[in-house]
Amino acid sequence: MSTVYVIATGGTIVSTSSDTGTVPTESVQELVQAYPESFEHVDIELEQLTQTPSSELTINDLVRLSDCVRAVADEMDGVVVLHGTDTIEETAYYLDIVLDVDVPVVLTGAQRPYDSRSPDGPANLRGALAAASHDHVRTGAYVFFNDRLHAARPVTKDHSSNLDAYGSGNYGPVAERTPNGLWFYRRPESLSVTIPTREITATVEVMPTSTDTDGRQIDHAIDRGVDGIVVDALGLGNVPADVADSIGDAVDDDIVVVITTRCRNGVVSPMYGSKGGGAALEEEGVLFASNLPAHKARIKLLVALSQQPGDTVLEAFDSSQIDGHGYV
């Protein structure tokens, strides 16, 4: 029988209702007692790392989580992380980048609280344990939710409350849980570049853009001395003219600027040569994040800048081949 290490961080899956709202209250040990059928087919070891809504997790919490996985990886067949749904995709992507271990890490959670009349947590937990202990799933980080296993890089939360909350865009799920077990649509593997950072020392801000956005947010970030800025740009990677001016100032101050697109599909591509066009920004020295959304580009930039400024950052955002996706 496979042995799976279960790490609890909090989230809706262990939350109950109170006079002040729904908050995490149940420990991972109490979860095991409440849902014993979820653990019938695996041996488990448990750790309560935090008891925090994922909207309040910090980068230091993610570092602690990765340290925890590294510490047990050699002795386990897989790891399951119980996590809030708000930022589960960011944590999964962080782990996918920084971990260099030979076990899968499967994150799961719930949209409905522990004390709901029909909680979705037990089914998600059973599926995550099945994936983490499956012979065909050997490395990489994943999110298991609503009977589907998603790779860490493409997965996003598409719905704020629906049980079918997660999707992987054009890439699609890795596998689906059926009555006969996991049905695989593609090879389960990491789709992310590995940057084995052990500590996050960089600071990175994310800036959205829209019609007539000015550059004040970037100016403030420059004044605060950040190491990197992710600009969630328009279309193929274009920004208003005032934002372009501020981007130039940031690059002149040796701040790494990464461009993403606010579009849900497609990639950034430096095509337009006007002042705020992507081609002009490329001449300024910005980097482009392909189809990686801004919140995940921030995670990657944090990791790359903390590992080793310079070549690591350039390689991480190499536009010719991004995390197993790209032009070949």
C-alpha to C-alpha distance for 61 and 317, rounded to whole angstroms: 25
Collapsed DSSP state (helix, strand, coil) of residue 7: strand
Q: Please report, as a single letter, which amino acid is at residue 283.
A: E
Query: Measured on CA atoms in the order 91, 28, 15, 118, is the torsion positive or negative?
Result: positive
Question: Which residues are marked as active site?
Answer: 85
- E strand or H helix at 131, and its extent? helix 121-132
Q: How many C-beta atoms lie closer than 10 Å to residue 16's C-beta?
A: 14
Please list, in sequence order, all residues whose beta carbon lies within 8 angstroms of the beta carbon of residue 252, skipping any fewer than 6 positions away: none
Integer CA distances (angstroms), 272 to 236, 279, 287, 292, in order: 9, 5, 15, 20
